[in-house]
Amino acid sequence: MSDVTLLLQRIELGEPGAQAALFTQVYDELRRLAAAKMARESGGQTLQPTALVHEAWLRLGGDCQPHWRNRAHFFGAAAEAMRRILIDRARERHALRHGGGLARVELAAIDVAEERDDRLLLAVDETLERFAAIAPQKAALVKLRYFTGLSVEQAAASLEISETTAKRWWAYARAWIFRELQKNR
């Protein structure tokens, strides 16, 4: 059982100081994930990794953490929070003052190391929402890989699946999302 899972259990039991210990325990990992994500964002990005982590922490509940089943549940929620923050910021930047509607952008392949612009981020997010409706576990893997920058191995551990399964799901998800983006160009 991971240290994070143990801390989550201590929080559930109402142990004093467990909330602060959780933040201390996960902060460095969340900061590394945010820094990696922000390094791949477009040059106009003004959000800093520290701010992304802190805003995600607040969206997760701040000092009043909800019940997390385990490390995977917590980091899945953190990935979702970071994704929503980045999507919200992209939408704000491309509101009507920037011409309104979204333009479809060709996506040769979804690659975590690839730099993306806001329009592509929004197109991928919209497609990912449709994908989540039919394959929620595979969509969770995509969120961990694409929006937080976890490796296949890290995402597999977070989701508590084998690396082989994670690689198979990743290949399927990439193909499905690519096909959908191509149809909507």
What confidence tier does 61 reach under pLDDT thresholds 50, 70, 90? confident
What confidence tier does 115 reach under pLDDT thresholds 50, 70, 90? very low
DSSP of 34-101: HHHHHHTB-TT----HHHHHHHHHHHHTTTS-----SHHHHHHHHHHHHHHHHHHHHHHHTSGGGTSS
Nearest to residue 181, comparing CAs of 97, 115, 86, 102?
102
What confidence tier does 74 reach under pLDDT thresholds 50, 70, 90? confident
Position 133 scores a pLDDT of 94
What confidence tier does 162 reach under pLDDT thresholds 50, 70, 90? very high
Beta bridge partners of 116: 41
Read off the pLDDT of each residue in 155-181 and give the average, rounded to a whole number.
91
Distance from C-alpha of 62 to C-alpha of 110, rounded to nearest angstrom: 32
Position 134 scores a pLDDT of 93
Read off the pLDDT of each residue in 57-73 and give the average, rounded to a whole number.
80
The least confident of 14-23, 109-118, 140-149 is 109-118
* Mean model confidence pLDDT for the chain: 79
Question: How is the chain split into domains, by residue range?
Answer: 3-183
pLDDT at position 109 over 80: no
Position 45 scores a pLDDT of 62
